[in-house]
């Protein structure tokens, strides 16, 4: 049921977004550029709107958003329950599961950080 609701929500937003891009291209460009400012994507000189803007509300965009949202349904962590075994990527690009890194009775420590 949750996947169906997500499918309907994402499909509706893509249809509305695509329609608005056709009817009001300049307004949608400004809106998408504002989104880029919030994520600081606009600060990268290698990215231009012409390269990534038209991908918003495309079929590939729809599939990507669905994949991410459906995957997050599996990642719910509740206190006192087992940790979710989410998909992670190694530095070499290999796709693994989080619990693949467990070794015997040793605790698994996750360290989250960022580089800018």
The model's confidence at residue 116, banded by pLDDT at 50, 70 and 90, is: low
Kindly compute the dihedral angle of the four CA atoms of residues 46, 69, 75, 36, in this order, to the nearest 10 degrees. Answer: 30
- What residues contact 26, with CB distance under 8 A and at least 6 apart? none
Q: What is the pLDDT of residues 55-107, one digit of tens each?
A: 888 999 899 888 888 877 766 777 888 777 877 878 888 888 888 888 888 88
Distance of CA 85 to the CA centre of its chain: 18
Position 84 scores a pLDDT of 77
Q: What is the pLDDT of residues 32-49, one digit of tens each?
A: 888 877 777 777 777 778
Position 75 scores a pLDDT of 67
């Amino acid at each position: 049921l949750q996947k169906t609701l997500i499918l309907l929500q994402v499909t509706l937003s893509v249809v509305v977004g695509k329609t608005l891009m056709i009817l009001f291209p300049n307004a949608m460009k400004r809106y998408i550029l504002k989104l880029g400012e919030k994520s600081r994507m606009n600060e990268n000189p290698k990215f231009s709107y012409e390269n990534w803007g038209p991908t918003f509300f495309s079929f590939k965009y729809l599939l990507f958003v669905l994949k991410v949202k459906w995957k997050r349904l599996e990642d719910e962590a509740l206190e006192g329950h087992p940790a979710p075994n989410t998909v992670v990527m190694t530095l070499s690009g290999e796709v693994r599961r989080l619990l693949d890194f467990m070794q015997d009775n040793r605790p698994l420590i996750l360290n989250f950080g960022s580089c800018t």
